Structure 1
Amino acid sequence: MPDERTHTLSDVLDQLEGSAQGDSITVEQVVEKLGHQSFASLMLIFSLISTSPASAIPGLTATVAVIVFILAVQMIAGRDSVWLPQFITRRQISTRKLCKGIGWLRKPVRFVERYLGERLTWLLHRPWLLLPLVLIMGLTLFMPLMEVIPTSGSIASAVIALFAAGLLARDGAVVVASMVLLSAVPVAVWYFGFSG
């Protein structure tokens, strides 16, 4: 897996914001901007988009779920570069809504960055990394269904974003925390979707 330690979470947001020109941006343009070898950066940015107010765009949660699933499969397979099918790469996102989402994300991202650091890095290598990747793949299978339950897709996306942040920062403790939170996603979805 490529070494992405030099990229902070804010750097990823800056790169994405810099590519948001015109009325819309395609998924392919996002991939080109962040790089075809930046698996963790791509997983982070798409899951963050789905966590932000931009998730209100119809079908976005399902699209992000497909992207994250494909990224996880390729990371497990040990691919060196990202491949996404054309029906995904041609998907367009409103730059206005995207930039609004990026602005919304900056404060929580800066907060998280304060606590990131290189810890438990052995968890970021095989075979240990395979377990969280498989669990995230399982989570993405349910994300399209979450679009009918308000906030549930954002909760799942936030867990994936935390996992990707741990990979980028070489922070195994954050990866473990994301897995603990992943186990709580079904409870949270039930609470927010069906309680009361």
Structure 2
Amino acid sequence: MTQQTAGSARQNDRASARLHDLAKLAHEQGGISIGEVLSGLGHTSMAFTILFLALPALIPIPGPFGVVFGSALALVAVQIAVGRRSIWLPAFLSGRRLSPSVVELIVRYSAPILARIEAIVRPGRLAIFTGGTMQWLLSFPIFLLAVAIVLPIPLGNYMPVFALVAISVALMARDGLLILAALFFSALAFVATAGLIQVAFAGLNAIGA
């Protein structure tokens, strides 16, 4: 394989490129289900699953998308923790169908975020932090970030989703330094979520007083 061909292959395997492929497929089929997305993924399926399930929580789409995709993410995290190689989702989640317009909206909003993260990715950097043990350890913050997405907290989705996007892209590229940075951002997301919960409870107490 020539250097140019290898570079082209890496470009096509980027998360942003794969999202555009999904948008094209959804348009051709008149929609796409979560199960169809997961069944069509390649060797980076676990990481891309995390990415795909996290992104809709960023988008201002009517409906309980945070609950649906956050719940699916939590299930994925549990399966990573118990060592499953393939992802299973119950029918009410895997059968959830996304219209072409929703998929295109997800891609439109997420592409700039992914482009910024992919610009700093260096495949193979600190590879010791990208193996199976690290993936298992990451299942715990991924689960907690998924729970944060499910919680109905105003503006509470953004930091957890950014952390999940960084984790997933880092895993796909096997960039250990980016994984460490994503873990630091995850810690910030946990602190921010706890603060927002405290503010919400204080507001409810003030209203009830």
TM over 0.5: yes
CA displacement, residues 57-106 of structure 1 (integer Å, 9 cap, x when unaligned): 32111111122222222223332222111010111223212202211222
Q: Structure 2 vs 1, CA of residues 36 and 109 (structure 1 numbering), >3 Å: closer, same or farther?
A: closer
- What corresponds to 2:150 in structure 1? 144
User: What's the offset of the Cα at 1:41?
Assistant: 1.0
More helix by share: 2
**Does residue 191 of structure 2 align to residue 187 of structure 1?**
yes
User: How do residues 44-83 of structure 1 correspond to structure 2 at under 5 angstroms?
Assistant: 44-53=51-60, 56-83=61-88
Which one of the candidate residues 151, 159, 167 is aligned to 1:155? Answer: 159
Q: Structure 2 vs 1, CA of residues 140 and 106 (structure 1 numbering), >3 Å: closer, same or farther?
A: closer
Which one of the candidate residues 78, 87, 94 is aligned to 2:92? Answer: 87
Q: Of the two, which has the highest radius of gyration?
A: 2
User: What's the offset of the Cα at 1:45?
Assistant: 1.6
Q: Choose 110-119 or 131-140, whichever is displaced more.
A: 131-140
Q: Structure 2 vs 1, CA of residues 62 and 191 (structure 1 numbering), >3 Å: closer, same or farther?
A: closer
Q: Structure 2 vs 1, CA of residues 97 and 192 (structure 1 numbering), >3 Å: closer, same or farther?
A: farther
User: What's the offset of the Cα at 1:8?
Assistant: 1.0
Q: Structure 2 vs 1, CA of residues 128 and 29 (structure 1 numbering), >3 Å: closer, same or farther?
A: closer
- What corresponds to 2:181 in structure 1? 177
Give ranges in structure 1 of 5+ residues lacking alignment.
none
- What corresponds to 1:34 in structure 2? 41
CA contact (8 A) 2:51 2:169 kept: yes
Q: Structure 2 vs 1, CA of residues 70 and 23 (structure 1 numbering), >3 Å: closer, same or farther?
A: same
User: How do residues 110-129 of structure 1 correspond to structure 2 at under 5 angstroms?
Assistant: 110-117=115-122, 118-129=124-135
CA contact (8 A) 1:121 1:170 kept: yes
Any runs of at least 4 consecutive aligned residues in structure 1 with deviations exceeding 6 A, and if so which? none
- What corresponds to 2:102 in structure 1? 97
TM-score, scaled to structure 1: 0.82
- Tell me how far apart the structure 1 counterparts of residues 89 and 43 of structure 2 sit (CA, whole Å): 10
Give ranges in structure 2 of 5+ residues lacking alignment.
1-8, 204-209
User: What's the offset of the Cα at 1:35?
Assistant: 4.8
One-letter amino acid of the structure 2 residue matched with residue 110 of structure 1: A
CA contact (8 A) 1:16 1:33 kept: no
Aligned residues: 188
- Tell me how far apart the structure 1 counterparts of residues 43 and 97 of structure 2 sit (CA, whole Å): 18
User: What's the offset of the Cα at 1:192?
Assistant: 9.8
- Tell me how far apart the structure 1 counterparts of residues 92 and 174 of structure 2 sit (CA, whole Å): 32
User: What's the offset of the Cα at 1:155?
Assistant: 2.3
User: What's the offset of the Cα at 1:171?
Assistant: 0.6
- Tell me how far apart the structure 2 counterparts of residues 37 and 166 of structure 1 sit (CA, whole Å): 11
CA contact (8 A) 1:24 1:95 kept: yes
